[in-house]
Structure 1
């Protein structure tokens, strides 16, 4: 416990204390009230922002999963230099600032950016497409930034599956598709669920990428909280928004915990 004390103190000072202060303001300033929470969950404009945040987070999670699973499978079946190159390709974005990666996407997606220039040069379009400041741009950029958080858990799960399982299934007459469906994918589910939860939760609180690449119509909850604090100076309502999203995240974590327990129970039955 003593070894963990510095971390616990740091977590309390930098996370729990500010969060508790913000939630206290949302409930007790100027007087004890739930009006800020009622406003957060009933006003149509704020409901749209929350639903948009959930929708974008869900789309990013699905897209990251579709991109990450095949890549993780190739990594799990690779060795030597090929594996080193793949791992470096996944980890390299984590060593680059999110702000730098976001500006890179802005260069690619802007009206006179690389993608529009390529499309016009190939004759596919006659005029530049509006790619920047759209929900599609936000989803693509967020998926790129969060992809490593999906790849690594799935790769770890696939790496732990013995090759004997696939060979045994094929010796018993299973096709490659049946082996994947009945053996490989079910055994990778712990990594899939961990990666999905991590990406979804990170996407819910994403700030830099949606703020720079998305327009006012793509505002997400983190941008809304920042707007309430920096422009409206309404700390109490900002705390209510944080409280609503915190309650949702805790509920999701509890559901995930129950699902993992159920998966272990079924696996041991």
Structure 2
């Protein structure tokens, strides 16, 4: 039965009213996003194109291309991010698999230990590692007392200390989406593979592991992007010897009072982040990246 012209016009009016109501309900959130995200990012772009004389200039970007120190900083940032992400995968995936296989009560107790770092300040956790890893720290004292080595080993103010601290802080961001993805898998799939003659190892790699890829991909992407902008842990545990982009941004502002140079670094880092997200979206849907679903 076809609608009359009067009914069609009424439906269009109702549709417009519904859209206006939805816009009115979402306008506070849109205004908040505009204030805390769009305007600051726009200001960042604007300042990055201002030279030392306050005029429009590309000198901040030209400086990054001309000076090799900037290339070393970006290389260090990506090196630390890649290694940290890889170590989180090697440690976090087996741990998430263990949590998904044990009884729920034990899994919940173990999950508390995974979530416990979120209840402690990031700065406190970083300085705790500094106390543990320094030459007169607990780890060196215990190892020397047990005869594992004779002299204190330098484990802070270098790449080693930075990676240890960052892996500890980033590990929950990988475990949680992987664990959620594993718990959503129907165990009957693995049982069916076993009934068809697959060994436990083959059932894991051919059935279980591919189904966990969305969660693993989401956690990997989250950890890597967070590492790109990390500041506190490399600054404290790196001791000025592991310089990342975020640390260079701070030094440009605090030491040289160069907001343009700092903004240009921020714009480049933001552009790289968006590029990584765009490449990731080519391989996986955004809702899977955000939720780690299947």
Identify the TM-score tier after normalising by the shorter chain.
over 0.9
- Deviation by residue 1:46-97 (Cα, 9 ceiling, x = unmatched): 1101110001001000100111111111111223320111111111111111
Seen in structure 2, the aligned counterparts of structure 1 residues 161 and 248 have a Cα distance that, compared at 3 Å, is same
Count of residues paired in the alignment? 263
Seen in structure 2, the aligned counterparts of structure 1 residues 229 and 7 have a Cα distance that, compared at 3 Å, is farther
Contact 1:22-1:235 within 8 A present in 2 as well = no
Q: What residue number does 2:5 align with?
A: none
Give the structure, 1 or 2, with the largest relative contact order (CA under 8 Å, sep 6 or more). Answer: 1
**TM-score, length of structure 1 as denominator length:** 0.93
SS at match of 2:212: helix
More displaced stretch, 98-107 vs 10-19 = 10-19
Q: Which runs of 5+ in 1 are unaligned?
A: 265-269
Match of 1:217 among 238, 241, 245: 241
Structure 1 position 4, deviation (Å) = 4.2
Structure 2 CA distance for aligned equivalents of residues 125 and 15 of structure 1: 51
- Deviation by residue 1:11-36 (Cα, 9 ceiling, x = unmatched): 33233322221221111442222221
Structure 1 CA distance for aligned equivalents of residues 249 and 136 of structure 2: 32
**TM-score, length of structure 2 as denominator length:** 0.85
Q: What residue number does 1:267 align with?
A: none
Seen in structure 2, the aligned counterparts of structure 1 residues 2 and 72 have a Cα distance that, compared at 3 Å, is farther
Moved over 4 A (4+): 1-4
Structure 1 CA distance for aligned equivalents of residues 237 and 25 of structure 2: 42
Match of 1:230 among 254, 262, 266: 254
Q: What residue number does 2:116 align with?
A: 92
Structure 1 CA distance for aligned equivalents of residues 26 and 138 of structure 2: 48
Q: What residue number does 2:224 align with?
A: 200
Q: What residue number does 1:162 align with?
A: 186
Structure 1 position 138, deviation (Å) = 0.5
Is structure 2 residue 196 aligned with structure 1 residue 144?
A: no
Match of 1:22 among 36, 44, 48: 44
Match of 1:106 among 110, 113, 130: 130
Query: Once superposed, what is the RMSD of the aligned Cα atoms?
Result: 1.7
Structure 2 CA distance for aligned equivalents of residues 244 and 43 of structure 1: 15
Q: What residue number does 2:30 align with?
A: 8
Q: How does 1:6-155 map to 2 (within 5 A)?
A: 6-29=28-51, 30-155=54-179
Structure 2 CA distance for aligned equivalents of residues 31 and 184 of structure 1: 58
Structure 1 position 207, deviation (Å) = 0.8
Seen in structure 2, the aligned counterparts of structure 1 residues 93 and 17 have a Cα distance that, compared at 3 Å, is same
Greater C-alpha Rg: 2
Structure 1 CA distance for aligned equivalents of residues 170 and 28 of structure 2: 29
Contact 1:138-1:213 within 8 A present in 2 as well = yes
